[in-house]
Amino acid sequence: MHEWQIKAREDAENQQDAPSSLRELLGMDSETTKAPIPVIVCGKAEVVGRVVIEGLKPEYEVVHFIMTPASGAAIIPAILTAQTPPSHPDSSAIGTGNYAVPPRAIILGAAFDDEALETIKKGVAGAGGAKKVPWLRHDTSKPSPPIGPEYGKAVVARCKETLARLEKEGKLDGEHDADEWY
């Protein structure tokens, strides 16, 4: 080996930087390179939805924001089968719109009560091939700040905690279809 090759090898071994080659990337711990988990968020107000979407990053990717039970019943079935959803008058433009991979959970804000959830679930039941997902429901018995940015931050903290628990329990695998309270 030439002296310059030895020096280059030593320099490379002593670097503590981010990975610089495909080989290094492939050898990295999967936790550091894990893709975000796709989810759907249902809420009445986009102003709160934006806070929730940003707060869920980078662990979770909100692919679509649903604003009404009727739009959820029409849109969610397509998304759960990794298809582009149909247009709907109550559609929201926030969310990544990345429908290539079905979402692994649906998060419902406090405005989505039992009746709203039933409307959405009826729409989903009619969709063949839709992945099963946990339905994260807002526990209104827990204290929350008034509607606004602080409310969104509180929702994010509770959702992240619940999603992490569900992932640890293996319930984000497309086979778990149950209400989970956050």
Where is average pLDDT lowest: 12-21, 77-86, 127-136, 163-172?
Answer: 12-21
How many residues does this entry show for the chain? 182
Question: What whole-number distance in Å separates Cα of residue 49 and Cα of residue 122?
Answer: 24
Considering only the C-alpha atoms of the chain, give the largest distance between any 2 of them, rounded to a whole number of Å. 75
Structural fold of domain 35-181: Rossmann fold (3.40.50)
At 15, give phi and psi (nearest 5°).
-70, 140
Sign of torsion, CA 12 16 22 26?
Answer: positive
Which residue matches tokens 């980078």? Answer: 58
Percent of the chain with pLDDT over 70: 82
Residue spans of beta strands (DSSP E) within 67-172: 106-108, 135-137
What are the C-alpha distances in Å from 39 to residues 10, 67, 97, 103, 133? 45, 15, 11, 5, 9
* pTM for this predicted structure: 0.81
Fill in the amino acid letter for 114: D
Domain positions in the chain? 35-181
Mean predicted confidence (pLDDT) in 146-169: 91
Mean predicted confidence (pLDDT) in 116-142: 93
